[in-house]
A and B are shown apart, each in its own frame.
Chain A
Amino acid sequence: MPKLLIILAFLLLVINTHAKGKKNVIVKYKQYEKFDLGNLEIKGKVIAPGDLSVLERKRKVFSRDLFERMNFDDKIKNDIKNLR
């Protein structure tokens, strides 16, 4: 029990010290930066062709769903209704 009290007192001391050591940090970002793209050097092997290219793909054709008879169920039902 006394050991536990000592450990707790130690922990409280550490937390208190840490809280006191925290300062208000102000982060400042560069307001302006210039990149000279022409001067940039990329190290490594060039595996893509120099010019810009777009892969050709087949144009998607959206066709309308034109009505086609799949069955004559409506007519079957109608025939029964017309039975007697």
Chain B
Amino acid sequence: MRILLIFIFISLPVNALMKKAEKIYNSGLNAEKSRVISYELSKSRYYFSSAIFAKEYLVRNGSIDIDFEQHLENLILKTGTLTFSQLNESTLKKYKTPSLKFVLGLKQFNKKEIYKAINTLNKFPKNHRFSPESFFILGSSYAQLGKRQLSKNAYDTCIETSTELEGQAENVKLKRYFAIIKETCLIHFARVLFKLNKFIEAKNIYQNIPKTSYRWPYLLLERAWNSYKIEDYNRSLGQLVTYKSPLLKSYFLPEVQYLTALNYYKLCLYDDSLTKIDQYYKVYKPQSEALKNFLIKHKNSHTYFLELMLSPIKEHESLNPYIRNMMTQTRKKIKFNLDLVNYKKAKNEFKYLKKMNNRSALIKVLTAEVYRTISQRTRYLNHYVKKGMFDFVNDIHRFSFEMFNIKLEIMSNKRDLIYKNKKLISNRSRGSWENVQRDDTQHLYDFRGEFWADELGDYSFGLKSNCKTVKKKWEEKDA
């Protein structure tokens, strides 16, 4: 009874606001009226409906005030950037407001118009709600052009503004969101340094990302590449072996297997490398075939993959383990989560609009438009999940080819050794403390077959390079 009373209490003013919007709509539409209707619908919490009239206002009008800017900011937060990125660039360019600049900059970056994105975002205010994201895009744009100092400045501002907003956020999820942006900006700067061959500097930045971060498991691979570049193959192998820990079971990346084989190759431990390559073919080939068949079966569906994501986990038990793991990974992605929340909101709004007894012209238009938005987003989300899975299959094939190249190279090196009547110094060199390189921030413990959470990512192998060759003795040759 109490719930019913609360519902009636909330719904009464909502209906009144809707009535007001209807009245304005029926009196004929112009820019100003679109603006008022957008406000009214937003007050009734019909955000997707409100966005329709906000866009109408932006197309018809030429300038917006602070009030409307705040209204736009709210609508972007509630419905996502996708709503407004559908507007023409010329419409978005008409307004110099931060919210639309952010939408435009993002759109330009995704269209690979890097210079335009820089031009749009380079004077973005530091105190806006979208400052972290905008400086993040700006830093990445400069990074694409290899401009180290400018990208560093932008990433620094991104870190500064996201830290500030993280502190101000009351909601735990929002706090986490800003923390992730802050860490991503830090990671991106490490990537800039990597691109510029500043591997030691990059290593120090990577170390600043806490192990509790959502981004951390993915970073292990990047850190391993960084160690590889400074020729610390043992450290690289240690970082990669972390993926074998039970905690990181759902993270499986073909590139990890490739880099492991490459590290062994660089240490001239050819047999270890070949074992890794054979393992890759044995494990990944049947799995990738199964995954490929599954994907091809549903590749033309615009809903299947999203429905799969939305269905209860119990229903996935019969699926390929890779698919289940991929679904777990996708569920953890911020983009997917935010889009999914917005998608559910749109569906909810549609449900309320459809239920309305009064089928006025405005309600009919809103119902049709929100339905269109839902269809678009269903396709969009479905494509997002599907693309992730297809990318994974492509990665398996790509690294299978690269693995084959390592195999050929090993065979060629082995043949050359025979021609030169030489052999590697030992058949299989094993570990020793002497071969572990470490700096003063890295501790030394021995591994006893158990992965401890606080040690994850800090492992190093102690393998001696086997690249030294010696002349073969006559007796060995005869044998």
Chains A and B are bound partners: yes
* Complex contact B416–A82 (CB within 8 A): no
CB distance from B330 to the nearest CB of A (A): 11
What residue of chain A has the Cβ atom nearest to residue B185's Cβ? A79
Question: Which residue from B81, B133, B144, B262 sits with its C-beta under 8 Å from A73?
Answer: B144
Question: Which residue from B335, B406, B416 sits with its C-beta under 8 Å from A81?
Answer: B335
Known: A80-B109, A83-B136. A71 touches B194 (CB 8 A): yes
Total residue contacts A-B, CB cutoff 8 A: 65
* Complex contact A72–B402 (CB within 8 A): no
Q: Kindly state whether residue A69 has any CB partner on chain B within 8 Å.
A: yes
Known: A67-B258, A69-B225. A84 touches B409 (CB 8 A): no
Cα distance A47–B110 when bound, in Å? 71
Q: Kindly state whether residue B188 has any CB partner on chain A within 8 Å.
A: yes
Q: Kindly state whether residue B405 has any CB partner on chain A within 8 Å.
A: yes
What residue of chain B has the Cβ atom nearest to residue A67's Cβ? B402
What residue of chain A has the Cβ atom nearest to residue B146's Cβ? A71
Q: Kindly state whether residue A55 has any CB partner on chain B within 8 Å.
A: no
Interface centre among A61, A69, A71, A77 (most CB of B within 10 A): A69
Question: Which residue from A64, A70, A73, A81 sits with its C-beta under 8 Å from B408?
Answer: A64
Question: Which residue from A68, A76, A77, A80 sits with its C-beta under 8 Å from B106?
Answer: A80
Cα distance A76–B151 when bound, in Å? 13
Interface residues of B toward A: which range? 20 to 34
CB distance from B365 to the nearest CB of A (A): 27
Q: Kindly state whether residue B64 has any CB partner on chain A within 8 Å.
A: no
Provide the residues of chain A in CB contact with B195, threshold 8 Å.
Answer: 70-73
CB distance from A45 to the nearest CB of B (A): 40
Known: A72-B191, A76-B188, A84-B133. A63 touches B140 (CB 8 A): no
* Complex contact B194–A84 (CB within 8 A): no
* Complex contact A82–B335 (CB within 8 A): yes
Residue-by-residue, is B260-295 near A (CB-CB < 8 Å gives 1, otherwise 0)?
Answer: 001001000000000000000000000000000000
Q: Kindly state whether residue B438 has any CB partner on chain A within 8 Å.
A: no
Known: A72-B191, A73-B195. A80 touches B110 (CB 8 A): yes
CB distance from A82 to the nearest CB of B (A): 4
Q: Kindly state whether residue A30 has any CB partner on chain B within 8 Å.
A: no
* Complex contact A83–B143 (CB within 8 A): no
Which B positions have Cβ atoms within 8 angstroms of A? Answer: 80-81, 106, 109-110, 133, 136-137, 140, 143-144, 184, 188, 191, 194-195, 222, 225, 228, 258, 262, 265, 333-335, 338, 402, 405-406, 408-409, 412, 416
